[in-house]
Structure 1
Amino acid sequence: MTHFGIGVSTAVADVAATLKLAERADRAGLDLLTVSDHPYYADRLDAYAEIGVLLGRTRRISGLVSVTNLPTRPAPMLARTVSSLSELTGGRIVLGMGVGGLWDDIARLGFTKLTPGQAVRAFEEGIRLVKLLGGGGDPVTFDGEFHQVTNLEPAAAPMPPVWTGSVGPKSLAVTGRVADGWMPGHAADWLSERYRTSRPIIDKAAVDAGRDPADIATVYNFPGRITAEPLPKTRADDGRWIGGSPAQWIEELTGAVLEHGAAGFVLFGPGGSTPDETAAARWAEEIVPAVREAVAK
């Protein structure tokens, strides 16, 4: 399955527009709504409060916090949050997980500032523990460096797929060992140097762990303009996608799926902004159906 989503605002000031966009995306048949997780900013909504309300206002679309700020959300409680959302929505949730990047801001919330090495180890432990705490089974005791639980019963709901936003080599290897999907950082796409140098690290780690690299999907955050008329160039001199007409988007994304194995795309506006109403409509009503049709052939 190829996933098509849209990134929505977490700004408190945008609540009315965000609810409207989510409901429109659901009616149009998109697969994912994504929100970011920056709890240290007072003008931003809490990511899981927002995704819960958005899922409550929709019927078919899934939610993804892209990506969960794991240092601020202890893994056992995150597992309970996600399994609860799964039960409440009929499984319409994907779990995005991140190492944590803005450590000065994380520390302002009262959480311990970790070294890069510690953060990656905590990240892998967190993913492993969260996965143990879904799908029923025997009580879990986990005595890790950063996470400990004792005789804790897993939730009955299966744990949803875990997608990461790994960037550095060590966290990329974690993705290969334990995750189900990867969203390349900095909106890197399938033609970028970041992808070319990062995906092999994931694949090698997967093989070393006895996994099939093909089981780890690559889903792209993909910002750009959707214009009424074709653009002379769809990519900048540095190779970054600029955008273009619906036909240009359709050609680009179809090629990404068929030639590069892309498993999905989340639309953002230029610079990572929330798409406006016109762009969202062209994405959901013109581009996505045409790419789905072309890929199905």
Structure 2
Amino acid sequence: MTLTTRSAPEVVFGFGAHSTIDEAPELLAMAELADREGLDLFSLSDHPYIGARLDAYATVGFVVGRTRRLAGFANVTNVPLRPPAMLARTVTTLSALSGGRIVLGFGAGGLWERISDMGRDPLTPSEAVAAFEEAVVLIRKLSGGGSPVTFEGSHYRVNQIEPAPVAAPPVWTGSVGRKSLAATGRVADGWIPGHAADWLSPRYRESRPVIDEAAAAVGRDPGEVRTVFNFPGRITEQPLPATRDRDGRWIGGSVDQWVEELTGAILDHGASGFMLFSPRGGTPDMASLGHWAGEIVPAIREAVAKHQD
């Protein structure tokens, strides 16, 4: 599959997980189902301070090695605990081994008290955003070949390090605050709205213009920054009387209701990706993933293709 961005990026579909070590067999079975049914990607949360959780990058590497088309990414990478020079080596290697089936999910760090417990000095919010943007720039410099890199940033430094001869994968961020959103507009390829906000939410309406303005300010086409939604909800046998709650948050519905909602999100709101989660935001169950991959996604793709024709 192609995950590079352009002014009208390909719409991608996947599922997200927060799997523990004892849930590894189920996650592998779900990834194999997603691969067979033609989904584009899967993601795994990155919380290295939780001992029961599968490590995001070890798992992504293992899964893409067992699948043929499925791409993987950390949703999102805990960058403060994964230094960017080493992260560049990890993602370019995974890209080379998988034929480009890697996305670099990127975050400034959210749970700083636990990040500090892992030995990382805490940063202020402004410092964390500056380090986040600096890390994206450094990873790109250490990818794609060329002359040795010397980089003197405020937070990261390397001296005469040879770049990998592999392009950096697309960078999708989980930005929330204005400064982080602006950094996304300047340097990233995609945005995953925080707190599972969707295209009808105030968070999206207030945040997306910040990305677009920052992109335009540095001469970028804002359309190059795709929006990929973490999208929780339940899939029901019968249609629901209402697919959204009193606060306007999507709760789910029948296959046809999902198809109608997400087709509209693509055609009317420019959505370019969806990651299925359970109604509470966790790993979906196997039956829901089967409906998503085997019924909902193919119908959305068909509806969008008919409209484009």
Q: TM-score, normalised by structure 1?
A: 0.99
C-alpha contact 1:10 1:50 (8 A) present in aligned 2: no
Structure 2 match to 1:18: 27
Is the 2:228–2:275 Cα contact (8 Å) retained in structure 1? yes
What's the counterpart of residue 6 of structure 2?
A: none
How far apart, in 1, do the equivalents of 2:96 and 2:59 lie? Answer: 17
Q: Which residue of 2 aligns with 1:41?
A: 50
1:122 matched to which residue of 2? 131
Could you tell me how far apart the structure 1 residues matched to 2:179 and 2:201 are? Answer: 20
**2:211 and 2:222 in contact (8 A); partners too:** yes
Q: Where in structure 1 do 4 or more consecutive aligned residues deviate above 4 Å?
A: none
Cα distance in 2 for residues equivalent to 1:133 and 1:233:
49
The correspondence of residues 69-80 of structure 1 with structure 2, limited to 5 A, is 69-80=78-89
Q: 1:229 aligns with which of 225, 238, 248?
A: 238
Q: Is the 8 Å Cα contact of residues 97 and 163 (structure 1) preserved in structure 2?
A: yes
Q: Residue 184 of structure 1 corresponds to which residue in structure 2?
A: 193
- Residues 215-243 of structure 1: CA distance to partner in whole angstroms, max 9, x if unpaired? 00000000000011100000001000000
**In the alignment, does 2:193 pair up with 1:201?**
no
In the alignment, does 2:257 pair up with 1:248? Answer: yes
Distance 1:201 1:207 in 2: 10
User: Does the Cα contact within 8 Å between 1:10 and 1:47 map onto a contact in 2?
Assistant: no
Matching residue's letter, 2:213:
K
Contact kept? 2:19, 2:283, Cα under 8 Å: no
Partner of 1:91: 100
Higher relative contact order (CA 8 A, sep 6+): 2
Residue equivalent to 2:73: 64
SS in 2 for 1:272: coil
| 1:267 counterpart = 2:303 | no
Seq. identity, %: 62
Q: Which runs of 5+ in 2 are unaligned?
A: 1-9
Is contact 1:253–1:291 with CA below 8 Å preserved after alignment? yes
1:9 Cα deviation after fit: 3.4
Aligned mates of 2:301, 2:150 — CA distance in 1:
44
Kept after mapping to 2: 8 A contact 1:5/1:266: yes
Q: Deviations over 1:177-235 (max 9, x none)?
A: 00000000000000000000000000000011111100000000000000111000000
User: 1:219 is matched with which residue: 207, 211, 228?
Assistant: 228
SS at match of 1:93: coil
Q: Provide the secondary structure at the position in 1 that maps to 2:228.
A: strand
| 1:102-154 deviations in Å (ceiling 9; x for gaps) | 00000000011111111000000001111111111121111000010111111
Q: Partners of 1:253 and 1:237 in 2: how far apart?
A: 20
Distance 2:280 2:65 in 1: 29
Structure 2 counterpart of 1:102, one-letter code: L
For residue 279 of structure 1, the aligned residue among 276, 288, 301 is: 288
